[in-house]
Amino acid sequence: MNRQAWGWILAVGLLMSTHLSAQPINELQTRLASMKNEQKTRIEVEVEFRHRGSAPLHLNKEKRRGVAVVEAGPKGVKKITSRWLGTSARFSAWGKKKGENENPLLNDTDALDLVNPAGMMEFFLSEATLLSDERVTWQGQPARLLVVRPAVLEPRKDGKAKKHAEDDEPTPYAIGAKVWLDENGVPLAMERDFEFRLGPALSLMSNQSYTFQQVEGRLLVAEVEETYSGTGLAVLHGRDDRKMKVTSVN
């Protein structure tokens, strides 16, 4: 199962919305609003993808890399040009399926997150609950670490959304995020996790780690590392790892 498939599964029944009840998150939202990138932007991205899947009588291992060029503007992503550079290691006991390597390196959502992470963070942190606010060190420099629990809304029969409260019935999923800020409140990095479990039958987990950069007052992504993994019926295992590094910004 590829990364896009994991994304669809993780998204089912979940809707991220926004609630900032804590002052530090309000301050971060104000900062993010001022750092949105709605200018004409062109970035080049190096992508590395690894996959490992196993099932009875089956093993699939693969490593690929590629490059992509993203062109965006005030209305969002305009164009994505990408190409795989090759497969450096591959093994499958079942052989290669037709069209298996035809998935694009980046989709529109990936590309928009890279060129305008402030918009992505605003959406993700809305309705979030602040769990802790600490003074820490990030890559050798003083930083502030916000640990938050994003809100999760579930659709109701009337089409509206119902927010989970802490005293609701236990849910099969868990969501969390960490944001590192510099001394001026500018985001340095973000990490977010998602876990979904249905007893021993199914488990899905994802982790995304972002490192940010500033370019002429705009917030852009410098590097992303993602991991998607899952187990089904205790015999099906899969893991996808992807690393994206922005090498040029114009």
* pLDDT digit string, tens, across residues 178-208: 999 999 999 999 999 999 877 777 888 999 9
Structural tokens at position 178: 């960490």
* pLDDT digit string, tens, across residues 27-84: 999 999 999 999 999 999 999 999 888 766 566 788 999 999 999 999 999 999 999 9
What are phi and psi for residue 84, nearest 5 degrees? -75, 140
How far is it, in rounded angstroms, from Cα 50 to Cα 88? 10
More confident residue, 12 or 7: 7
Q: What is the pLDDT of residue 242?
A: 95
Mean of the pLDDT values across residues 120-141?
A: 93
Q: Which secondary structure element, helix H or strand E, spans residue 29, and what is its range?
A: helix 23-34
Q: How far apart are the first and last CA of the chain?
A: 35
How far is it, in rounded angstroms, from Cα 47 to Cα 245? 7
How far is it, in rounded angstroms, from Cα 232 to Cα 22? 38
Mean of the pLDDT values across residues 138-153?
A: 90
Sequence-ordered strand ranges (E) for the chain? 15-16, 41-55, 58-73, 76-92, 129-138, 141-149, 152-155, 161-163, 173-181, 187-198, 202-215, 218-232, 236-249
